[in-house]
Amino acid sequence: MAIDHNQANLHPQAKALLDFLAQAGRVPPYSEITPPIARAQMAELIRRTKKNGDWSVTARDQEIAGPAGRIRTRLYKPSAAGVAARPVLVFFHGGGWCIGDLDTHDPVCRQLCQEAQCAVFSIDYRLAPEHRFPAAVEDCFAALRFVAVEGLSLGMDANRIAVGGDSAGGNLAAVCAIMARDADIKLAGQLLIYPATDWVTRYPSRDDFGEGFLLTEEAMRWFANNYIDELDHSDWRASPILAPDLSRLAPAFIFCGGCDPLLGEGRAYAEKLSAAGTEASFTLYPGQIHAFVNLGGVISDADKALAESAEFLKRVFRP
């Protein structure tokens, strides 16, 4: 049975947000709206709850070649970057592989860029249902390969690359880290923010927090139906926890909120990486909901999580 969020051990700021959303009136479930409307709905939530910071960061949009056409990207650099090549976080946004874009995750990328003093290369990969699995994986790995081969021309240090993302983006980052190892692309680290890692196993957190905690069971079914066929759930490019070899991967920093339906698989992935000999740490933010990092205007733990992410990046990027 799903827990009523009023009875759960929610962080007060997360509870205040959920109460506000409940009082604001009924929001149509994803199953009742089209993908374009769902994308607009997410953009509006982020607009109302994002952190507005005065970051000393420059941003430049550009397109790179992808496996099925051009891929939009946004390259962030610290304003005082100078001419030296910067280590780079290749960032994949969340949104269930169906929603989200460069703009929804712009504040998070700017904050990471400034606090880690690294470049951030954000990728606008193809979305489902227009482009189903494995289109997003293919675009993200193409972008990673671009950085490894051509990044220096844009001021990115190809010898100090990390991958990262939130939710669906965390899934894509985890998959790309495995693909990078197999393609002899050396990575410095993986920043996996409440990542989806397992389409096969149902963890108790899905039942505990699948209703009333922002990311709902209904939404997850909608994302799944749009993104991937059930026969592909066991493909490790969808479920990286099922990859046959998780050794020799870049160090991973993984974190989740304590009231997130993806908590179970995030923790399980960290444990499986560690068991395979890959350095992996798992941090829990008690009482926090899914997507809290994007909600930095109303949830202060977003700042804490991004500060700890920046410290991880600075450590793995250290020459």
Note the pLDDT tens digit of each residue in 190-241: 999 999 999 999 999 999 999 999 999 999 999 999 999 999 999 999 999 9
The answer on pLDDT for 1 being more than 60 is no
* Burial (CB count <10 Å: 0-12, 13-18, 19+), residue 15: middle
The answer on pLDDT for 6 being more than 60 is no
With pLDDT > 90 as the criterion, what percentage of the chain qualifies?
91
Helix (H) or strand (E) holding 123: strand 119-124
Q: Which residue has the higher pLDDT, 6 or 80?
A: 80
DSSP characters over 35-94: HHHHHHHHHHHHHHH-------EEEEEEEEEETTEEEEEEEEEETT--SSPEEEEEEE--
pLDDT of residue 2: 43
The answer on pLDDT for 76 being more than 70 is yes
The answer on pLDDT for 25 being more than 80 is no
- Catalytic residue selected from 157, 166, 235, 260: 260
At 43, the amino acid letter reads: A
Measured distance CA(102)–CA(127) in Å, rounded: 12
Residue 28 lies in a domain: no
The CATH number for 289's domain is 3.40.50.1820
For the chain, the average pLDDT equals: 95
pLDDT of residue 116: 97
The residue range of the domain holding 220 is 58-317
Residue 35 lies in a domain: no
Residue 45 lies in a domain: no
Residue 283 lies in a domain: yes
Helix (H) or strand (E) holding 157: strand 156-166
pLDDT of residue 206: 97
167 noted as active-site residue: yes
Q: Confidence band (pLDDT; 50, 70, 90) for 114? A: very high
The answer on pLDDT for 71 being more than 80 is yes
- Catalytic residue selected from 167, 205, 239, 309: 167
The answer on pLDDT for 89 being more than 70 is yes
227, 193 contact by CB (below 8 A): no
CA distances, 273 to each of 197, 204, 262, 299 (Å): 12, 20, 17, 29
Averaged pLDDT, 84-89: 94
Over the stretch 244-296, which tens digit does the pLDDT of each residue have?
999 999 999 999 999 999 999 999 999 999 999 999 999 999 999 999 999 99
Q: Give Cβ neighbours of residue 279 (< 8 Å, ≥ 6 apart).
A: 251, 252, 273
14, 292 contact by CB (below 8 A): yes
239 noted as active-site residue: no
Residue 8 lies in a domain: no
260 noted as active-site residue: yes
Residue 73 lies in a domain: yes
DSSP state of 159: E
pLDDT of residue 31: 85
Q: Confidence band (pLDDT; 50, 70, 90) for 8? A: low
Helix (H) or strand (E) holding 161: strand 156-166
The answer on pLDDT for 101 being more than 70 is yes
Residue 82 lies in a domain: yes
pLDDT of residue 83: 67
Packed helices 135-150 and 168-182: angle between N→C axes, nearest 10 degrees? 60
Helix (H) or strand (E) holding 109: helix 106-116
Residue 7 lies in a domain: no
Q: State how many domains the chain has.
A: 1
Q: Confidence band (pLDDT; 50, 70, 90) for 3? A: very low
